């Protein structure tokens, strides 16, 4: 339940908050905000705040995709309003609090446009609620940390889970994020130089994506304070593994008291509704993979022989599949949607996953047999392949009516034209340097 405005004002006074960020994630999962002196918080909380619509059809460096359909709103603002349930003091930012904002109304005309990823997710959560269901979910993120001056990764090699590769920096990250309401579950080194992974405890509803947004921005801010740069770019280095953002989730009753996942009496150990959900994810996997992995660089992850999936397969504890079933047993279980890259927008990734799963439930899609847990998912004549280039990814999402409706043509069009604009800047034969210039510092 969201606190009242009076309660938030009381927190501002009690904690000595001097500044409040009104913040959101843009199309590219880049944090955008306006910082308001606390003495003006009440006014903006009541009447809202404006942000330029142009930021929704711009790349991470704020270059404008002039061919986007949204270009007609070049000089217009979108009206945003704060969600007071997200108001929190930021332990890593002195005397500063943050509140997430959402908006879908053009201030000048009153037109409704679907460009804010938080609003897009709210629509899908409402659709799930109408079916008597809720989702309990979290992201696990892989990311890179480099020295700010040398731009070299702070660790070398691929010695994942090595205790000696962890840095004291991550103690502060974990403590500060917990103070901002993000319950870190695990921190570990990963399978690339300078790569780390952080997992969070799951939450119901939109809190999953809000936590992901807080984590991403918080880690990047704290890194700069320590002389580092943290990046959630999907694949900064050609000869290293990529970075994922696996979406771990499970279905529950609307009141959150009854899991709809595990049924040991059934062939796959899943409730029938969970089987339909998984079948929906697989049916929409090509489009889903683009929404969850939307940058030019993300496409470099989807190939056989890596830890990223390459086709629309599922399996019990099988890391090569697009959907991995984990922890099934008498006490429940959950699904790991492995199609997301670390560069994806967490609100859009969760929204698209819900839309695909709902379609599977509504159409009662049957679930094909799983891949064995000890075998690579390499069925040539079976599941659809996930797109490995921009053209294939765009075709997949634009021909998927369910995902197009859920994410909205405005958002899809913006992503498309941002990527097409970016592609013109990529130097042949030097692609990875171009990718790093596009994505590393801000994503």
More confident of the two residues 171 and 161: 171
Residue 142: closest CA among 98, 196, 94: 196
Average pLDDT, the chain: 94
Q: Would you state the structure tokens that stand for residue 434, as one six-digit string? A: 């171009």
Per DSSP, the residues of 399-428 read: T-HHHHHHH-HHHHHHHHHHHHHHHTTPPT
Q: Which of 56, 117, 90 is nearest to 217 (CA)?
A: 90
The DSSP symbol for 142 reads E
Provide the pLDDT for residue 53.
Answer: 98
376 has pLDDT over 70 = no
State the pLDDT at residue 329: 57
Tokens in use for 339?
């199609």
**Backbone conformation region of residue 76, classed left if phi is above 0, alpha if psi is from -120 to 50, else beta:** beta
Q: Return the structure tokens found at 35.
A: 């910082």
Q: What is the pLDDT of residues 190-213, one digit of tens each?
A: 989 999 999 999 999 999 999 999
Distance CA 84, CA 98 (A): 10
What number is the average pLDDT over the span 382-395?
89
Residue percentage of the chain with pLDDT more than 70 = 96
State pLDDT tens for residues 140-162: 999 999 999 999 999 888 878 87
Q: What residues are paired with 389 via a beta bridge? A: none
- Global pTM reads 0.96
With a pLDDT cut of 90, the percent of the chain lying above it is 84
Three-state SS at 101? strand
Q: Where does residue 194 fall: left (phi above 0), alpha (psi -120 to 50 degrees), or beta otherwise?
A: left
Listed in sequence order, the residues at least 6 apart from 402 whose beta carbon sits closer than 8 Å to its beta carbon are 284, 287, 355, 356, 359
What is the model's pLDDT at position 296? 96
φ and ψ at 330, to 5 degrees? Answer: -65, -20
Q: Which residues contact 194 (CB under 8 A, 6 or more apart)?
A: 144, 145, 146, 152, 153, 154, 155, 156
Banded model confidence at residue 241, pLDDT cuts 50, 70, 90: confident
**Angstrom distance (rounded) from CA 421 to CA 67:** 9
pLDDT of residue 262: 87
Which range scores top for mean pLDDT: 156-165, 299-308, 400-409? 400-409
| Residue 379: per-residue pLDDT | 52
Looking at the predicted structure, is the pLDDT value of residue 393 above 90?
A: yes
Predicted local distance difference test score (pLDDT) of residue 382: 62
pLDDT at 237 (0 to 100): 94
**344 pLDDT more than 90:** yes
What does the pLDDT look like over 42-59, one tens digit per residue?
A: 999 999 999 999 999 999
Phi, psi of 438 (to 5 degrees): -75, -40
The stretch 316-326 carries a mean pLDDT of: 91
Report the pLDDT averaged over residues 9-15: 97
Q: Are 314 and 326 in contact (CB under 8 A)?
A: no
In this predicted structure, what is the pLDDT of residue 282?
98
- 8 Å CB contact between 154 and 194: yes
* Residues listed for the chain: 443
Report pLDDT for 1: 79
Selected residue with higher pLDDT from 178 and 317? 178
Is the pLDDT higher at 329 or at 63? 63
Parallel/antiparallel/unpaired status of strands 19-25 and 96-106:
parallel
């Amino acid at each position: 339940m969201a606190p009242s405005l009076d309660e938030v004002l009381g927190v501002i006074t009690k904690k000595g908050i001097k500044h409040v960020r009104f913040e959101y994630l843009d199309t590219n999962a880049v944090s955008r905000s306006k910082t308001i002196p606390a003495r003006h918080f009440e006014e903006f909380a009541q009447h809202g705040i404006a942000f330029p619509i142009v930021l929704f059809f711009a790349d991470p460096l704020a270059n404008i995709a002039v061919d986007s359909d949204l270009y007609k709103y070049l000089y217009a603002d979108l009206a945003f309003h704060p969600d007071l349930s997200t108001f929190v003091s930021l332990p890593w930012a002195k005397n500063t609090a943050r509140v997430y904002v959402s908006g879908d109304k053009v201030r000048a005309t009153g037109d409704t446009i679907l460009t804010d990823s938080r609003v897009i997710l709210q629509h899908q959560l409402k659709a799930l609620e109408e079916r008597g269901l809720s989702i309990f979910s979290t992201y696990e993120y892989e990311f890179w940390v480099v020295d700010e001056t040398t731009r070299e990764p702070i660790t070398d090699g691929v010695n994942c889970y090595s205790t000696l590769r962890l840095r004291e920096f991550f103690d502060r990250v974990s403590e500060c994020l917990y103070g901002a309401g993000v319950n870190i579950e695990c921190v570990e080194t990963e399978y690339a130089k300078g790569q780390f992974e952080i997992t969070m405890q799951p939450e119901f509803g939109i809190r999953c994506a809000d936590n992901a947004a807080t984590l991403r921005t918080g880690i990047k801010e704290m890194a700069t304070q320590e002389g580092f740069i943290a990046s959630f770019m999907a694949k900064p280095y050609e000869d290293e593994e990529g970075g994922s953002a696996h979406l771990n989730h499970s279905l529950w009753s609307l009141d959150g008291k009854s899991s709809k996942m595990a049924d040991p009496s059934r062939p796959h150990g899943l409730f029938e509704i969970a089987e339909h959900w998984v079948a929906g994810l697989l049916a929409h996997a090509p489009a889903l993979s683009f929404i969850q992995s939307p940058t030019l660089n993300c496409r470099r992850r989807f190939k056989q022989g890596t830890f990223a999936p390459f086709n629309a397969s599922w399996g019990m504890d099988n890391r090569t599949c697009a959907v991995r079933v984990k922890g099934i047993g008498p006490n429940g279980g959950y699904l790991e949607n492995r199609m997301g890259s670390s560069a994806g927008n967490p609100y859009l990734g969760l929204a698209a996953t819900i839309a695909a799963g709902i379609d599977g439930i509504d159409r009662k899609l049957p679930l094909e047999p799983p891949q064995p847990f000890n075998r690579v998912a390499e069925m040539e004549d079976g599941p659809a392949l996930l797109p490995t280039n921009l053209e294939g990814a765009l075709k997949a999402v634009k021909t998927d009516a369910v995902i197009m409706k859920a994410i909205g043509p405005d958002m899809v069009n913006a992503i498309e034209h941002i990527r097409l604009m970016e592609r013109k800047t990529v130097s042949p034969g030097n692609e990875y340097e171009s990718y790093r210039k596009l994505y590393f510092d801000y994503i």
